Amino acid sequence: MKEEIVREASRIVGWNNVLLAPEELVPFRYDASEFKGELPSIVVMPENEEQVSELMALSYDKEIPVVLRGGGSSLTGASIPAFPNTMVISFSNMVKIHEVNIIDSYVFVEAGVRLDDLNAYLSQYGYMFPPDPASSAVATVGGCIAGNSGGMRGAKFGQVKNWVLGLNAVLPGGDVIRIGGKTLKIRQGLDLVSLIVGSEGILAAVTSAYLKIWPAPERIARVLAYYDDLSYLMQAVTKLRESKLVPLVMEFLGEGLLDAVRRVYGDVIEAKGRNLLLIDIDGPEESLRRYVDKAIEALENEGLILYKIPETPEEMERAYLARRAAFPSSLKIRKKPSERVLVSDIVVPPSKLIPTIKEIEAAIDRSGLRAPIGGHVGDGNIHSDIFYDEEDEDEKRRAWKLLEEMAEIAIKYGGSVSAEHGIGLEKRELLKKEMKSKGSLKALEIMREIKKIFDPKNLLNPGKVI
């Protein structure tokens, strides 16, 4: 990168907020996906919106590609440079929580705040920001907005898009836009907030956001139900949805994941049962018992092996942690370090879970690969961790094929190739496939045109999504 650009970037953010040494740039080639990006030329860590704006102007002026980076926990290669000579803008210095307003139900935060920190802060007020990706320890507000993340509480509260009231964002070229607001309702012409949410850092850099907050559940009851046969578990999910109960959390862990988790959390995870359905029901003390009874009624079918209701806060916490750690724990059962994992992230209407799961299991069998499944089943989202040895070309090919087959199954049942992890580098072709199957390639064209309006020089996270 030209010295002049480095000097200018450093002037903007200060030398202390610039990383240039080759060893310091290395981590920015990677995120939590299996992709390896190009080595960026410079990483800058602005402290405020003005600096972001100046950096975006500099990038525009000198035609330097930019990648925006939060916690770097993307599973699809969304936060790594696809091209050389990139400037990474990291939000690690923009971590202020500006304001909490209980009456108006919002918190105003900078983009680099991590979700766990945000929720720890809100808990002092008895409030929470409901979307809770399993990566909340590391994931940032900016990354989750750009990823329209979901999580375990998605069963009740949906994705981030339901919780963003307003955004401040910087466009390529440096213009700042303030869209949406701090009100619970707003009509502002075309809804640009929704456009930025989920845009995976290809349209604008979010600098701060007004996020809607919600009272933390008064009481939670957690039920762990075990089934050998997956279709009985899915039957229970269907029953639960019919029962008009809206559990806070409805998660399932299939065989491979449950085994992995059992190794670490054997104290709270039963030895019996191949698959686990974990549900959280929240409500006021007085009604909780009734809700739990209703849930158990729905869970009970001939496939139910047993159910457990953890009693102490410690047990409850351990059971929750067990679910959160499912994906990483499954990695411990890899046969060798060269084994890699592709994470499938499909979604179908919950009523189609039973046939979907059947077809997925068959596809996994055909592939001859290990691909344990689990997911946020309350909203029809199924993940599968597809293992392959990166040194074995044939396995690698089969893994990608399986990912594609799962996506096809989702499309077939009226679902989508990605529920929450996004498209990134990984699912561009699958997205095309989905739109094509819907006879809606035009929508992709519109997306590309929109991208051009925001970013005429294609400098912001180029090579991703569309």
Ligand X SMILES: Cc1cc2nc3c(=O)[nH]c(=O)nc-3n(C[C@H](O)[C@H](O)[C@H](O)COP(=O)(O)OP(=O)(O)OC[C@H]3O[C@@H](n4cnc5c(N)ncnc54)[C@H](O)[C@@H]3O)c2cc1C
Between CA 43 and CA 6 the distance in angstroms is 10
Q: Which residues contact 262 (CB under 8 A, 6 or more apart)?
A: 269, 271
Give the burial string for 83-94 (b: 16+ CB within 10 Å, else e).
eebbbbbbbbbb
Residue number, 187 or 335, with CB nearest to another protein = 335
Residue number, 128 or 322, with CB nearest to another protein = 322
Burial class (CB in 10 A: 0-12, 13-18, 19+), 189: exposed
Residue among 179, 310, 158 at smallest CA distance from 246: 158
Instruction: Quote the DSSP letter at residue 204.
Output: -
Candidate residues 42, 144, 197, 423; the one interacting with ligand X per rule CB under 6 A: 144
Q: What is the dihedral of CA 119, 120, 125, 126, to 10 degrees?
A: 70
Between CA 393 and CA 33 the distance in angstroms is 18
Q: Is 19 in the site for another protein (CB under 8 A)?
A: yes
Residue number, 345 or 389, with CB nearest to ligand X = 345
Only one of the segments 145-153, 302-310, 312-320, 355-363 lies at the binding site for ligand X (rule: CB under 6 A); that segment is: 145-153
Candidate residues 288, 296, 325, 354; the one interacting with another protein per rule CB under 8 A: 325
Q: Considering the complex, what minimum distance in angstroms separates the CB of residue 78 from ligand X?
A: 3
Q: How many chain residues are in contact with another protein, going by CB under 8 A? A: 38
Q: How many chain residues are in contact with ligand X, going by CB under 6 A? A: 38
Q: Is 332 in the site for another protein (CB under 8 A)?
A: yes
Binding partner of 214, given ligand X, another protein, none, CB within 5-8 angstroms per partner class:
none
Q: Which residue has the tokens 């109960």?
A: 245
Q: Considering the complex, what minimum distance in angstroms separates the CB of residue 13 from ligand X?
A: 15
Q: What is the DSSP string of 170-191?
A: E-TTS-EEEEE-SSS----SS-
Annotate each residue in 188-227 with x if it binds ligand X (CB under 6 A) or - if it does not, as one string: ------------xx---xx---------------------
Q: How many CA atoms lie within 13 A of 88 on its CB side?
A: 33
Q: Is 43 in the site for ligand X (CB under 6 A)?
A: no
Which SS3 state, helix, strand or coil, does residue 330 take? helix
Q: Is 41 in the site for another protein (CB under 8 A)?
A: no
Q: Considering the complex, what minimum distance in angstroms separates the CB of residue 353 from ligand X?
A: 18
Q: Is 22 in the site for another protein (CB under 8 A)?
A: yes
Between CA 63 and CA 57 the distance in angstroms is 9
Only one of the segments 171-179, 205-213, 298-306, 319-327 lies at the binding site for another protein (rule: CB under 8 A); that segment is: 319-327
Q: Considering the complex, what minimum distance in angstroms separates the CB of residue 449 from ligand X?
A: 20
Between CA 385 and CA 13 the distance in angstroms is 40
- Contacting residues toward another protein, per CB under 8 A: 16-17, 19, 21-24, 26-32, 45, 71-73, 90, 92-93, 114, 116-117, 135, 137-138, 324-325, 327-329, 331-332, 334, 336-337, 341
